[in-house]
Amino acid sequence: MWDERHSSEEYAYGTTPNEFLVEKVSCIPRGKVLSLAEGEGRNAVFLAKQGYSVTAVDASLVGLNKARKLAEESEVVVELIHSDLADYDLGKNKWDGIVSIFCPLPSSLRKELYKKVIAGLKQNGVFLLEAYTPDQLKHGTGGGSSVDSMQFEESLILELSGLKFKHLIELERNVIEGLYHTGIGSVVQAIATKEI
């Protein structure tokens, strides 16, 4: 599905970084940042432009090839890794920041991934996330139709119990990100820190 979505010349979600990431990037400590399900590179390139050492992982080789092109055009370096998140080893105490922007995973896979996120963050490392909530179904402006892959405050508190939330809110906002995220969206935004 993702190779097909990324196959056109146009960038499916645009080349502009996610608005929440732009607003809150200063919360992420300087250093190594991992972007999960990065797709075509818009958020990884933005992070690299801010001076972070960025690794981007995605299951779509087509998307990563477009990310490579975007990074080259922007004259930044991003390490691109082709891997399914179910198989990807995040390592231990490795990342100053991990970013998840609209990464729709089945809840069973997501719960396992979040264990790896907690283990992979360094002490004082930050996890920054924006995801659609189940209320998004009434808008139909992106995010698919699977409630199981959507998130909300309570699910994040449960699944990221090893982190301390600095920011956690559900809201409706205008999401304008390329062809597939356009219009009012019901989202949850989170910034959480690994304190131990």
User: Which of 88, 104, 128 is the last residue in one of the domains?
Assistant: 88
Average pLDDT over residues 71-76: 97
153-175 pLDDT per residue, tens: 999 999 999 999 999 999 999 98
Count of domains for the chain: 2
Do 132 and 178 sit in the same domain of this protein? yes
Q: Are 6 and 64 in contact (CB under 8 A)?
A: no
- Alpha-carbon gap, residue 35 to 156, rounded angstroms: 18
* Residue 43 shares a structural domain with residue 124: no
- The reply to whether 54 and 118 lie within a common domain is no
Residue 64's domain spans which residues? 1-7+29-88
| CATH code of 166's domain | 3.40.50.150
| 125 in the same domain as 168 | yes
Residue 13 located in a structural domain: no
Q: Given a cut of 90, is residue 110 above it in pLDDT?
A: yes
Does the residue 136 lie in any domain? yes
* Residues 143 and 185 occupy one common structural domain: yes
Q: Taking 80 as the threshold, does the pLDDT of residue 6 lie above it?
A: no
Residue 70 included in any domain: yes
Residue 100 belongs to a domain: no
Q: 191 falls in which pLDDT band (50, 70, 90)?
A: very high
pLDDT score of 1: 61
User: Are 2 and 84 members of one domain?
Assistant: yes
